[in-house]
């Protein structure tokens, strides 16, 4: 059979990872500077409140916490109404992100300020809303971190409904950034390399990963990071899936990497441990039945999708 460009699984692997369910219309070409303010004036608009890497939830229904609010509800939490971020439109209504001083210690029930990672790991909001959270968290973090012009140091103004910032002094435009990260599962036959960092949960093993550097391809980053962290010589590299990762604004680019030798040398300044795992052991880890309690990351993590795709092949 002749090769066709789109001979891929019907369901893209990237659709199955956490934070990837965003179906919002971002209105990228329809953003006048006042678009976020205009959206806030509409009664159907809904608001997300974020602050300190936390999202405001109404937990009146503990099985389905609410993350979207009307503006008159949101004002009770003292949001910054001077810099609203228009995320886009979904189901006929605009969604706007507002930054607010969310203190989990002072909020009264049924409201809670839940950290992004817990929301993702515990499945506290639906998949499509988790994707919107990834967008909102990354954008608000970028605005918080880039309030001053990198060219002249002047305080910048939000423009295009939060899609950029502009310097009133020198006119420089600054656009939200995404930091690309290569995450890879090194494999050799029926074995793969898994490793753990000192900050991992006890017994947890995962893939190797690192930021892609300037002037570097994804494949080159996979080979460099694999060598730097574990001294692995890598041959072929195959892309598998990607995952938005709002900590603070990364894109995880997942690959399988062909290891050319059984030898490895762990960089102990980066990793606490790393070794070869056979498919049977990895399958036990995926199923939560490893005899020593070893585990892989949560099911929504792209690392686990890389591991599972290889283990089930």
Confidence band, pLDDT 50/70/90 cuts, at residue 1: very low
| 3: pLDDT strictly greater than 80 | no
Q: Check residue 33 and give its pLDDT.
A: 95
Fold of domain 179-311: Nucleoside Triphosphate Pyrophosphohydrolase (3.90.79)
Q: Check residue 9 and give its pLDDT.
A: 62
Arithmetic mean of pLDDT over the chain: 95
Cis status, amide bond into 110, omega within 30 of 0:
yes
pLDDT more than 70, % of the chain: 97
Confidence band, pLDDT 50/70/90 cuts, at residue 4: low
3-state class (DSSP) for residue 309: helix
Q: Check residue 30 and give its pLDDT.
A: 86
Higher pLDDT, 101 or 9: 101
Q: Check residue 7 and give its pLDDT.
A: 61
Widest Cα–Cα separation across the chain: 64
Q: Check residue 29 and give its pLDDT.
A: 87
- What is the distance, to the nearest Å, from the Cα of residue 193 to the centroid of all Cα atoms in its chain? 23
CATH class given for the domain over 17-174: alpha beta
Say how far apart CA 102 and CA 105 lie, in whole Å.
Answer: 9
Segment 114-141, tens digit of pLDDT:
999 999 999 999 999 999 999 999 999 9
Own/partner long-range contacts of 140-148 (Cβ < 8 Å, ≥24 apart): 140/50, 140/85, 140/97, 140/99, 141/53, 141/246, 141/248, 141/249, 142/176, 142/177, 142/248, 142/249, 143/83, 143/85, 143/99, 143/176, 144/99, 145/248, 146/174
Higher pLDDT, 304 or 12: 304
* Range 181-210 average pLDDT: 97
Minimal CA–CA distance to 191: which of 276, 281, 273? 276
Same topology between domain 17-174 and domain 179-311: yes
Q: Check residue 11 and give its pLDDT.
A: 77
| 5: pLDDT strictly greater than 60 | no
Domain ranges for the chain, please list them. 17-174, 179-311
């Amino acid at each position: 059979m002749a090769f066709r460009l789109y001979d891929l699984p019907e369901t893209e692997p990237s659709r199955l990872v956490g934070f990837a369910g965003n179906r919002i219309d971002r209105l990228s070409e329809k953003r006048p500077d006042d678009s976020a303010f205009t959206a806030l004036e509409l009664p159907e608009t809904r608001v997300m409140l974020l602050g300190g890497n936390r999202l405001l939830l109404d937990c009146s229904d503990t099985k389905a916490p609410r993350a979207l609010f009307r503006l008159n509800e949101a004002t009770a939490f003292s949001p910054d109404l001077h810099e609203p971020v228009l995320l886009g439109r979904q189901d006929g209504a605009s969604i706007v992100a507002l930054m607010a001083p969310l203190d989990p210690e002072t909020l009264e029930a049924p409201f809670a300020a839940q950290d992004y990672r817990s929301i993702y790991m515990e499945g506290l909001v639906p998949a499509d809303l988790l994707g919107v959270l990834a967008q909102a968290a990354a954008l608000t973090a970028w605005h918080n971190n880039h309030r001053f012009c990198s060219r002249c140091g002047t305080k910048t103004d939000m423009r295009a409904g939060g899609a950029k910032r502009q310097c009133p002094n020198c006119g420089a435009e600054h656009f939200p950034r995404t930091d690309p990260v290569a995450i890879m599962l090194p494999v050799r036959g029926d074995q793969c390399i898994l490793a753990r960092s000192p900050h991992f949960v006890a017994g947890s093993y995962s893939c190797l990963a690192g930021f892609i550097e300037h002037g570097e391809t994804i494949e080159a980053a996979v080979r460099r990071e694999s060598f730097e962290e574990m001294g692995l010589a890598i041959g072929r590299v195959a892309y598998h899936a990607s995952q938005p990762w709002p900590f603070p604004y990364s894109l995880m680019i997942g690959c399988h990497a062909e290891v050319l030798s059984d030898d490895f040398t762990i960089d102990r300044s980066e990793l606490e441990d790393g070794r070869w795992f056979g498919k049977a052991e990895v399958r036990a880890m995926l199923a939560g039945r490893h005899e020593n309690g070893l585990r892989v990351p949560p099911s929504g993590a792209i690392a686990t999708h890389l591991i599972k795709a290889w283990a089930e092949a």
